[in-house]
Amino acid sequence: MRRQRQLARRLATGLGGSAAVLLGSAVQAQLEGSPFGAAAESRVTVQLSTDADPIGPGRTFHIAVRFEIAKHWHMYWKNPGEGGISPSVRVTTPPGYVASQVLWPRPVAVTTPLGLEYSYFDEVVLFVPITAPTSLGDATVTIRVDVEWAVCRRLCLLGSATREITIATSSRPGIDGGTNARLEAFKKRLPKPLARLEGALIVFDDSTLTLTGPAGDATRAAFFGVDGPGVEFGAAKVTVGNGRFRVVVPVALEPLNAGGRAMPVGGLVTLGEAADDPSYDFVIASDNKPGLSKP
Amino acid sequence: MKASTLFVTFGLGTAAAVILAASATAMAGEGKTVKIGDPAPNFTLTDTEGKKRSLSEYMGKIVVLEWTNTECPVVQRCYKRNTIQETVGHVKKLDKDVVWLAINSTKTTNTEQNATWIKRYELNYPILLDIDGTVGHEYDARRTPHMYVIDKKGILRYHGALDSAQDRPKPDKPVNYVVNAVQQLVGGETVAPYYMKPYGCSVKYKN
């Protein structure tokens, strides 16, 4: 994690005006005359694994999509900030299996001349929860994952890959597929619901979001907003003191830009700087129908 | 402003309090120098054939501005997948008089590079060179592609992303915001959305 921070700092300071998405003749040369994305695929390795072996009836398990990123390059969180573009993960499952939204670990905020970028360095594991049908045979199931990504250094390259994973299934109810110690370590990097953090408070009026809560031993905190249709975040003011964090961030809501869709106000608070330090996410339904969505 | 307040606590003893007072009409997505509903700043730029073109000469027609960079992988993907070309075709079907102008504010670009691009993709619209970035800064163009739709009276009605392809989860059929805006203008409707966060490469300005 020290290396991750060093890289972030180096990118933030060492590259000066070229820290964000810079493109030059080099990338053109790499992309010309080669299959689209080939250069990006040489800088990112994609692997699948799972915490289910076998899959039990009705069980929710995870497909882990691991991106190994070449040294000094980076990818983006679900909101890239003022950076490039975030990776997409499309899961194709057999009938009866239901995939939920991708779970994203905490990113690193990198300051660039254009603003904050929300990035991953070295490696990142995205988790896709999948719920199996309640009736299964003793067989196998194959799940396909199509991914696209931008990987950036001084320039950005676009890549894509398709991977499949075949997993055993069991007809026995209540079967536990066991654990995958390596995946469990990566799962600890996933945010927990802020709404369930004792002592946390989420206050949202028409234009300002205020988050407070216990900071534990952390002396630093950060806020990452999730831009969405009709929702824009301004610059967040984040402080830590007396064992508590406080985030105050302006939010602009515009139903006209939501296109009839909901306008959830969501984001992430991270404590400390290490990848496995605590982080908490939240989503507030704010689409003129006051209510709360559990994170 | 009316503010409804909802106070929610979770059971389980470990709970956060959530106070929600939601009603909002804030203008989102306004750049520093360009505002939806204001006259689009006039400009005069030179295309790859040396012809000077001014925005003002297209008054009375819907104008689409496409900030572009032939070296940007996102722009390249848009052209390789025909996303831009199909968008041009679609808006021309809605109104054959729609004017499409691409603008390249990349500091390192040149006439030959853009002429080659036009030839390669058989484009029937010009790329205007803004190498010093003056027009790009005036419009606060941040990305390539970054799209602007101007109505027949010269009023800016939309700017931002080309489509919703960067939404997460990724949509099966992205919404094309430029087509949407032109369709609404042709139908005499209010353009909505009028701003969607643009995605792509940053504009490589000279300064």
Q: What is the pLDDT of residues B148-168, one digit of tens each?
A: 999 999 999 999 999 999 887
Q: Confirm whether B7 is domain-assigned.
A: no
Q: Confirm whether B174 is domain-assigned.
A: yes
Cis peptide, bond prior to residue A54, ω within 30 of zero: yes
Mean pLDDT (whole number) for A117-131: 96
Quick check: A271 and A251 in contact, CB under 8 A? no
**Minimum Cα–Cα distance from A227: chain B residue:** B197
B 36-65 residues inside an 8 A Cβ radius of A:
none
Contact A227 B197 (CB under 8 A): yes
Q: What is the pLDDT of residues A174-201, one digit of tens each?
A: 776 666 788 899 999 999 999 999 999 9
CATH number of A2-187: 2.60.40.1250
Q: What is the ipTM of this complex?
A: 0.78
Contact B24 A206 (CB under 8 A): yes
Contact A206 B21 (CB under 8 A): yes
Residue A33 sits at the chain B interface (C-beta within 8 Å): no
Q: Coil, helix or strand for A16?
A: helix
Q: What is the pLDDT of residues A272-294, one digit of tens each?
A: 999 999 999 999 986 544 333 33
Beta strands B44-47; B127-129: pairing state: antiparallel
- Would you kindly state where each structural domain of chain A is located, as residue ranges? 2-187, 192-293
Mutate to test the interface with A, among B191, B201, B206 (most CBs of A within 10 A): B201
**Minimum Cα–Cα distance from B12: chain A residue:** A196
Q: How far apart are CA A33 and CA A35, in angstroms?
A: 7
CB-CB neighbours of A210 under 10 Å: 15
Highest mean pLDDT among A14-28, A133-147, B5-19: A133-147
Q: How far apart are CA A110 and CA A116, in angstroms?
A: 6
Mean pLDDT (whole number) for B40-66: 98
Number of domains into which chain B is organized? 1
Q: Lowest-confidence range among A100-109, B3-12, B168-177?
A: B3-12
Q: Which domain holds residue B47?
A: 27-202
Please give the DSSP secondary-structure letter assigned to residue A17: G
Residue A162 sits at the chain B interface (C-beta within 8 Å): no
Contact B69 A101 (CB under 8 A): no
Residue B200: which pLDDT band, with cuts at 50, 70 and 90? very high
In terms of pTM, does the model score above 0.90? Answer: no
State residue A173's pLDDT score: 82
Residue A4: which pLDDT band, with cuts at 50, 70 and 90? very low
**Minimum Cα–Cα distance from A148: chain B residue:** B170
Contacts of A204 in chain B (CB under 8 A): 18-22
Domain A192-293 has CATH 3.30.1360: no
Q: How far apart are CA A138 and CA B116, in angstroms?
A: 59
- E strands in B10-155: 17-20, 44-47, 52-54, 63-68, 99-104, 127-129, 143-144, 146-150
